[in-house]
A and B are shown apart, each in its own frame.
Chain A
Amino acid sequence: MSRPVRLTVNGAPASFDVEDRTTLLDALRDELGLTGTHAGCEQGACGACSVLLDGEIVRSCLLLAVQAGGRTVTTIEAVGSPGRLHPVQEALRRHHGLQCGYCTPGVVLTAIDLLERVADPDEEEVREALAGNLCRCTGYAGLVDAVLAAARDAGPGR
């Protein structure tokens, strides 16, 4: 049985009818066509499906779409644009912090969330924050460099 869900996605009102068991991940992808959020494990372990729910980083594969009713979801599609990248995205590009790109949307959102909370993270804090985002391509080298550089470029006293 489907039920209607109304929420705010990337700053605009959105609605869809889904079964109770539909994950937020599947609803974003299949109902709203926001395919930037990726399924990596559907067990909450890899971070590829990360989105912001009311500003907090969550795994959209572990949430039901109905749980997002009345709330605000931000996906990768709302962060930067190909012509005007967010500073974290720009840093990932400059430091080769992505290869195949599959884990990248989750990494971008996790890094932005970290830098909102910690203005000047050290390497260990960056590695710890990214520990829930599995990447099989980069060996994390460019990814860690990028987040540190993005923090540095944002300047002290952020």
Chain B
Amino acid sequence: MSTTTGTSSHSAAGRYVGQRVARIEDPRLLTGHGRYVDDIQLPGMLHAAFVRSPVARGRITRIETKAAAALPGVRAVLTGSDINPRVHQFWHSMLGPPPEMGGQTPYPPVRPLAHGDVRFVGDPIVIIVAESRYVAEDAAELIEVDIDPGTPVLGYDAGTNPILVHPEMASGTNVSEAVPMPDVPEVEAMFATAPHVVTRTFRQARATNVPMEPRGIVVHYNRFAGDMQIWAATQSVSEVKSSAARLTGLPEPRVRAIANDVGGGFGQKMMLSRDEAAVILAAHLIGDRPVKWVEDRQENLTAANQARQEAVEVTMAVDAAGTILGAKVHFFEDVGAFPSGTGSSASMAMGVFPGPYRFPVVLPASTAVFTNTVGKQAYRGPWMMETVAREQMMDHVAREIGMDPLEFRRRNILSADEFPYTNCMTLVYENVTPSETMQQALEMLDVEAFRAEQAAARAEGRLLGMGLGVYLEPSAIAFGMLSSDLAVLQMDPTGRVIISMSTGNHGHSLETTIPQIVADTLGCDIADVVLIQGDTATSPTGPGTGGSRSAVIAGGAAQTASMRLREKIVQIAAHLLEASPEDMEVNASVVSVRGTPSKAVPFAQVASVAHMAPDSLPPDMECGLEVTARFRPPGMFTWSNAAHACTVEVDRETGMVKILRYIVSEDCGKMINPMVVEGQIAGGVVQGIGGVLYEHFAYDGEGNPLTTTFLDYLVPSAAEIPDIEIGHIETMSASLGGYKGMGEGGAIVSPPTVANAIHDAVAHLGVHPTDFPLGPSQIRDLLRAVAT
């Protein structure tokens, strides 16, 4: 059971904002009446399936499709030579066009289907379109593909491998992006003379998003009308629309993309994938019948892009008193063969590496390499390797210099009087509370009591440990196309409102939280507010939901639009009541003269006048009741922060780790709905725990994936997961409403928190883990290594 420790509230709770409002979307989802992409059934709908590469790298010597094409019920069998030449453009809005089109993003080669060779196990080679998925899969089995296998390129050292993943790329190397370590003589001099210099390399294991609803898309191109309609499991219908228009060459207004309910994404459904591009192009080619593709779990685990295959080498300099002097940090990323965009999050990771501590200097470097594995993409906190490395490093350094890791953090953590604070990478932190959340987490934990329990357990030969992790979350990233969101707010003649937004709800509760903001700002009942999203024909263009942006940026747009609409409503009401707008107040959808409740008009009457009786409006006022508002937050980042603490027991014999307690102290500003905030925290924390203890997408030495089912790729279940105890601190952000984003933090800091607890349990034995996963076999190996 979650416990909530409220410590401070800086603004009065509204009727809805700040309350645990039950979700508007729940009744249909609870009764099985959600509408996910696989629920779409259209007359004449065809079904697609792929033939995929069984080897990591190789030359395609023959593709035989005749038998498949002749199978009754098969409409089309298409290879790379059919599909790839039909690509007009294939790039992602957030990253802009490739260099040859004037952009700056070094994309991997454009090819929805493999052509000539294959580059990872799961690489799509043939798309089959048939009357049913069963027939499409039958046809797939009739297709013969001969591949002359080659030695795959694998590992972080791919940059020195003469074999190339993408031989056609002009770079002539497997290094996709690299930033060299700056040469700064005075920093080198500091490192040369520092009392303590500690170097460690931390590695994460490849993990994947695993939304419970896999990827899926239904595409209907009507060649007679020249338009395309798409239903997709996506975080952004705008991105699907733009991508489909770019792929096919259709004008964007001719493409309509719809997402109804979406069963999770966590970053996997932000950008259009190669597989989805192939389906769009196949439907465009077929030209009269809709085509559905919904991947199965094995496809999702082997061919949908993945994340977290990262390593960081950190060298930290510390003075004799335990004050951090600086760090050199080198990020290594394996971005696979076809990452989403570049797949790299190094620039963001470098910027936020200093986290909540005083680092006088950080010298960053990064190297990202292509390998013959499935591509890298965003996954909840894509840059989080910085926190994974930094928070473990804090513990490693403290132990190396003989200091308690808590004390080492206390000496270096930023305190309330230092904000706003510009970190050494020039990012400005403000309205954050790292030391306060750390203190609250430690109080909830009761460190002294735990240390006593740990000592008693150790006397019995049992291994208990506690770990801490602290971070700042750069939420609501606001640059380029991510800078703003638009709200279109319309009040109908009955006085109810529709708000249209570009948000892409896929579990985030926006159908409830956005109406909470609108209802409070307008002064109406939440039942009178409906959020319209997920349809490019009825909701505005925008970046969708991701990057912990919706509460701040969409919420800000909703609030701004509501303020403007309220102003117009009040002006009309004042005119009808022959009073001054300044004297009006709004309560429960009624506008009245302050102090004279009998002089009042309900919203319905105001709305009726606005729509039906233009002559009753104030002179020169426009008819109708609709406003638009575009909101851009004041900062490029709206920082939130949290501290996590956990305790574990490590079984000496089996290597199993059991989490005893998991504690979170979070400051996400004004909470629109604390229930939703806690749900986001818990979900993120469990994904992070999974990445340390259970989840590992493993490849063998030949590039063959080994964990292609849920029996091998272990998503945490209810049985392994502890209670998550949550404390809140509410410090208003500078953005409208005081909101901060917090969707990713749980997944960002839980991995090092768990790792630090394991480290604390075994450090006295001389075991100092650095690599994930920390499953039973890895921990047994570490314990055995020191026992001999």
Contact = CB atoms under 8 A, between A and B. Distances in A.
A42 B134 CA distance: 14
B31 A85 contact: yes
Interface of B: 1-2, 22-23, 25-36, 38-39, 41, 134, 209-213, 261-264, 266, 294, 296-298, 506-509, 675-676, 678-679, 681-687, 709-711, 715, 717-719, 721, 723-724, 746
A144 B719 CA distance: 10
A143 to B, nearest CB: 7
14 contacts: A36-B32, A46-B715, A96-B23, A99-B507, A99-B683, A100-B264, A101-B26, A104-B30, A137-B212, A139-B679, A141-B1, A142-B678, A144-B1, A144-B718
A101 B31 contact: no
A35 B39 contact: yes
B678 A96 contact: yes
Interface in A59-74: none
Residue of B31, B210, B686, B718 most packed against chain A (CB within 10 A): B718
A141 B682 contact: yes
Contact of A43 (B38, B711, B746): B711
A16 interface: no
A25 B566 CA distance: 49
A150 interface: no
B212 A93 contact: no
B508 A141 contact: no
A80 interface: yes
Contacts of B35: 35
A91 to B, nearest CB: 10
Contacts of A101: 25-26, 29-30, 34, 261, 263, 507
Contact of A138 (B25, B213, B294, B683): B683
B679 A48 contact: no
B55 to A, nearest CB: 23
B710 A76 contact: no
A131 B30 contact: no
A41 interface: yes
Contacts of A126: 718
Sorted nearest first, the 5 A-B pairs with minimum C-beta distance are A36-B32, A101-B29, A102-B263, A139-B682, A100-B507
Given A102-B264, A131-B718, A138-B679, A36 B33 contact: yes
A50 B52 CA distance: 30
Nearest to A149: B1
Contacts of B682: 138-142
Nearest to A75: B32
Given A100-B261, A127-B719, A134-B717, A43 B710 contact: yes
Contacts of A99: 264, 507-509, 679, 683
A82 B28 contact: yes
Given A35-B38, A38-B213, A139-B684, A82 B31 contact: yes
A136 B719 contact: no
Interface residues of A, number: 62
B686 to A, nearest CB: 4
Contacts of B27: 82-83, 85, 89, 93
B210 A136 contact: yes
A151 interface: no
A19 to B, nearest CB: 7
Given A139-B724, A143-B718, A41 B509 contact: no
Contact of B212 (A48, A76, A140): A48
Nearest to B28: A82
B711 A100 contact: no
Contact of A35 (B32, B676, B746): B32
A113 interface: no
B297 A132 contact: no
Contacts of A22: 134
A43 B34 CA distance: 23
B100 to A, nearest CB: 38
Given A40-B297, A99-B507, A139-B679, 13 more contacts: A21-B134, A39-B38, A43-B297, A76-B31, A83-B27, A99-B683, A100-B211, A127-B718, A134-B715, A135-B718, A138-B679, A142-B682, A145-B1
A75 B33 CA distance: 12
B29 A141 contact: no
Contacts of B212: 38, 40, 46, 48, 100, 102-103, 134-137
B718 A140 contact: yes
Contact of A81 (B23, B31, B678): B31
B711 A45 contact: yes
A136 B679 contact: no
Q: Which of A40, A77, A103 has the most CB of B within 10 A?
A: A40
A141 B23 CA distance: 17
Nearest to B209: A136
Given A81-B31, A132-B717, A145-B2, A100 B262 contact: yes
A123 B608 CA distance: 54
A43 B32 contact: no
B710 A45 contact: yes
A41 B297 contact: yes
Contacts of B34: 36, 101-102
Contacts of B213: 38, 40, 100, 102
Given A96-B23, A145-B2, A104 B297 contact: no
